[in-house]
């Protein structure tokens, strides 16, 4: 199995090496594992997609069919009414950037739909299509959910990763902006209805991009982001990230880091998107001071009445919260996005 433009693909072969074609997966999505037994011709794999929770399947080569083992039950949500499609945006230097869009089937592309664009773009991480239960409520309200596969990840191998490291980090931001511009140009949404979200390195992404193109977004949701690129290596495990970003103690790295460091590129009087930052009091990976300093700088500089707020979770760390707190955090973020994109939620049975 392998990634084909970020989508999982399984190719089958006979024992003599003869190709038998592709195994038909349930849709656009990702494999989370694959196994077989020496005494059985069956193949077992786990599949997930934006509309399909992680599920184990049994493949029978005699029939060429896959059968779900204990298929998931999504109460009051019918995934058949929705679709995930893949498109390609063109970045500033001509690079093609994959974007996955999940939405209701038959939705008219008139630029009116609240849309949240998610990204990461770093540390050799592939952002493959996956299921997030909180997204379903957004989709039910007529919202769109998109993910962009920028350089810096591993979607196309190590060269793709290196094209978003060190002095080339701006490529990642350009890719994300290109994805957003595509969504607007093709009338999936408009700047008044477009939000961006990311965590950790993705929080850095959101912070940098909302500064570089504040006119393009209504909402920004940077979570536990690395916002001070000149001093990140002074705290806890930050020094290890210099292998990805470079460190300001090196004069060459300083010159490119200061150009995009979110904390150092806030401009007074700019109308920034409505922004809800988030951090956790026990985050010892990206320490909360990153978020606190960036929040204060944005609040001081904000040139319009759009809110700049920070959400501080207690008893939480980097990427971990007790379940009830995580649910509450996500609900707050989606509600903030809906409010500031003009969405009018309706009650879904």
- Alpha-carbon dihedral of residues 230, 232, 233, 239, nearest 10 degrees? -130
Element (H, E) at 97: strand 96-104
346 in Cβ contact with 311 (< 8 Å) = no
What is the C-alpha end-to-end distance of the chain, expressed in Å?
Answer: 39
**Alpha helix (H) ranges present in the chain?**
133-140, 158-162, 170-185, 201-212, 242-245, 251-260, 289-301, 323-341
Residues counted in the chain: 349
Give catalytic status of residue 200 as yes or no: yes
- Alpha-carbon dihedral of residues 32, 4, 120, 78, nearest 10 degrees? -60
Catalytic residue, chosen from 49, 200, 248, 261, is 200
Give catalytic status of residue 261 as yes or no: no
Residue 191, classed as helix, strand or coil, is: helix
Distance CA 86, CA 83 (A): 10
Distance CA 176, CA 25 (A): 28
Residue 118, classed as helix, strand or coil, is: strand
Nearest to 67 by CA among 12, 26, 13: 26
Nearest to 241 by CA among 250, 232, 228: 232
* DSSP codes of every residue in 215-261: GG-SEEEEES----TTTGGGSGGGGGGHHHH--TTSHHHHHHHHHH-
66 in Cβ contact with 44 (< 8 Å) = no
Catalytic residue, chosen from 161, 193, 290, 318, is 318
Strands ordered across the beta sheet of 52-60: 30-36, 43-49, 52-60, 65-69
State the catalytic residues. Answer: 200, 318
């Amino acid at each position: 199995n392998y990634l084909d433009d970020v989508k999982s693909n399984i190719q089958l072969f006979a024992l003599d090496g003869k190709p038998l074609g592709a195994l038909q997966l349930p849709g656009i999505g990702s494999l989370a594992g694959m196994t077989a037994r020496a005494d059985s011709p069956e193949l077992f794999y786990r599949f997930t997609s934006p509309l399909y929770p992680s599920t184990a399947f049994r493949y029978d080569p005699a029939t060429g069919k896959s059968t779900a083992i204990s298929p998931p039950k999504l109460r009051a949500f019918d995934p058949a009414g929705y679709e995930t499609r893949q498109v390609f945006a063109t970045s500033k230097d001509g690079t093609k950037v994959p974007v996955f869009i999940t939405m209701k089937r038959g939705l008219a592309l008139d630029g009116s739909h609240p849309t949240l664009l998610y990204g990461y773009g770093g540390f050799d991480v592939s952002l493959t299509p996956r299921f997030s239960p909180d997204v379903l409520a957004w989709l039910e309200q007529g919202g769109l959910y998109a993910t962009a596969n920028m350089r810096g990840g591993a979607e196309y191998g190590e060269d793709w990763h290196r094209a978003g490291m060190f002095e080339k980090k701006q490529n990642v931001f350009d890719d994300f902006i290109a994805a957003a511009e595509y969504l607007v140009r093709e009338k999936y949404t408009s700047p008044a209805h477009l939000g961006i979200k990311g965590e950790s390195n993705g929080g850095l992404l959101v912070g940098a991009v909302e500064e570089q193109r504040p006119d393009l977004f209504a909402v920004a949701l940077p979570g536990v982001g690395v916002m001070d690129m000149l001093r990140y290596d002074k705290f806890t495990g930050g020094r290890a990230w210099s292998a990805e970003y470079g460190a300001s103690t090196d004069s060459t790295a300083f010159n490119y880091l200061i150009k995009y460091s979110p904390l150092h590129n806030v401009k007074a009087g700019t109308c920034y998107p409505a922004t809800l930052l988030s951090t956790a009091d026990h985050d010892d990976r990206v320490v909360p001071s990153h978020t606190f300093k960036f929040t204060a700088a944005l609040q001081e500089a904000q040139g319009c009445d759009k809110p700049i707020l920070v959400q501080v979770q207690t008893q939480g760390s980097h990427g971990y919260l007790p379940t009830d707190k995580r649910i509450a955090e996500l609900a707050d973020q989606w509600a903030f996005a809906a409010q500031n994109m003009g969405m009018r939620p309706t009650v879904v049975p």
